[in-house]
Structure 1
């Protein structure tokens, strides 16, 4: 299946500190590519995989489910841990949700977590009907491209595959139920104006997590903040986060 231009995965071999970047639902690695390249310039080993069913067609994605996407990230994490002394996981939107799940499952195998506009709560009423709708309605209008910055576009699907989306509530419930397992430091960037993920997800994290959680508001970006006006703050903040919590030094200084 041909991959959409710009949706290719990215990998950079750097130093002893690794970062796994997780893109969002119906999106692609393109939304995180500038972030990945920024960290690579600082000497970080970076893995940014393309999740199964993403970056091709929404019809193909309808043949996948959250377990497929998570499995590909779990493998990428194992590969990074085989080459790096310490690994951080970071993600956007649903990628942020799966980054949190990786931290829940792998414990000390994940040094810290950075998420941007994470989606961990079912805040879309239509999704409650998805288990029934998937038999009648293969897709609905998409959610990609929520960017405030003029001239910037996200590579992803203009349609949301309903069958794939119907698997999300199970993932959300798992992440919510196991949040107390996360003892690593967690940094959350969230946009004040987000037309995709409602404030309920960050509110849930604040209510359930302790002093290991830090949140920072983005005032000039929409949902895909990694391509938006506040992207620089995310990139710099995540690198400072690594420097603060890694026990081994980075190989370069920006």
Structure 2
């Protein structure tokens, strides 16, 4: 992950208190999806909240898909709370939501933004053919930053760094994330990357990869690792030239919404 851009972006709120940060659940309407009950699990990113995924989820819900956007532990509360949670907490919540969807739907597609992308890649590697398809938006599984090597020490000296959130090109948009980046929590995220990278070849499900051309949070280290290591032969990359990191709320949102809807229909048909 890289430092926030010096270019002007929306200012993050002090704490996420809006109703849009609540989890989202939309019941499937199989009469709109060819008689099949199709579920979609969407995961927000680190220091974010369901707010960043809500418009995407609502778009897919209107098409008849059963949508769940969980709130990851430690998110939409306070950054101090997030600092008490770890990668295992977030993977457990994603697994719980996925199992609940699987129990009630004929097929489930998973998607995520940033850390959420890493979480659904982890799920796809672990669950094999239980996952019908994978959709990632600016996923983070690596970084070129050198200062992260100091995190094992820094996390005991200072609790947080400035925010990495709200990297949005479109004016007046807020992802309702945290004003600080908790170091113990983000170090836990980064510690999970080597094992995930090693297991990427286990991902055989169809994948669509949405990537912003100008991302000030996730650098270019993750993309080749993911696209070159997964074993899937059904991979589509979609460039997003007019958006920053939180592309699901940015100018590229319609491209993501329409592209993902077409992808879900194809891989679950």
- Give the TM-score, by structure 2 length: 0.89
In structure 1, what is the equivalent of residue 90 of structure 2?
A: 69
Q: CA RMSD in A?
A: 1.2
In structure 2, what is the equivalent of residue 218 of structure 1?
A: 240
1:27 pairs with one of 41, 44, 48: 48
Say if 1:122 and 1:172, in contact at 8 Å, map to a contact too: no
Q: Distance in 1 between matches of 2:181 and 2:163?
A: 5
Q: Distance in 2 between matches of 1:89 and 1:124?
A: 28
2:57 pairs with one of 32, 36, 40: 36
DSSP 3-state at the match of 1:64: coil
CA offset digits 1:3-23 (Å, max 9, x no partner) = 721211000111310000000
Say if 2:136 and 2:209, in contact at 8 Å, map to a contact too: yes
DSSP 3-state at the match of 2:134: strand
- Give the TM-score, by structure 1 length: 0.94
2:120 pairs with one of 51, 74, 99: 99
In structure 1, what is the equivalent of residue 263 of structure 2?
A: 241
CA offset digits 1:65-114 (Å, max 9, x no partner) = 01101100100000000100100000000100111110000111110000
CA offset digits 1:144-185 (Å, max 9, x no partner) = 100000111110101000011111222211210011111110
Q: Distance in 2 between matches of 1:246 and 1:206?
A: 22
1:1-254 to 2 correspondences below 5 Å:
4-5=17-18, 6-14=20-28, 15=30, 16-210=37-231, 211-247=233-269
Say if 2:143 and 2:218, in contact at 8 Å, map to a contact too: no
Q: Which moved more, 1:166-175 or 1:235-244?
A: 166-175
Q: What are the ranges of 5 or more consecutive residues in structure 1 without an aligned counterpart?
A: 248-254
Q: What are the ranges of 5 or more consecutive residues in structure 2 without an aligned counterpart?
A: 1-14, 31-36
Say if 1:107 and 1:182, in contact at 8 Å, map to a contact too: yes
Report the count of equivalent residues: 246
User: What's the CA shift for 1:208?
Assistant: 1.7
Q: Distance in 1 between matches of 2:256 and 2:112?
A: 11
Say if 2:16 and 2:176, in contact at 8 Å, map to a contact too: no
CA offset digits 1:170-212 (Å, max 9, x no partner) = 2211210011111110100000000000111112223223532
Say if 2:159 and 2:184, in contact at 8 Å, map to a contact too: yes
Say if 1:123 and 1:200, in contact at 8 Å, map to a contact too: yes
Q: Distance in 2 between matches of 1:124 and 1:155?
A: 25
Say if 2:163 and 2:180, in contact at 8 Å, map to a contact too: yes
Q: Distance in 1 between matches of 2:88 and 2:208?
A: 25
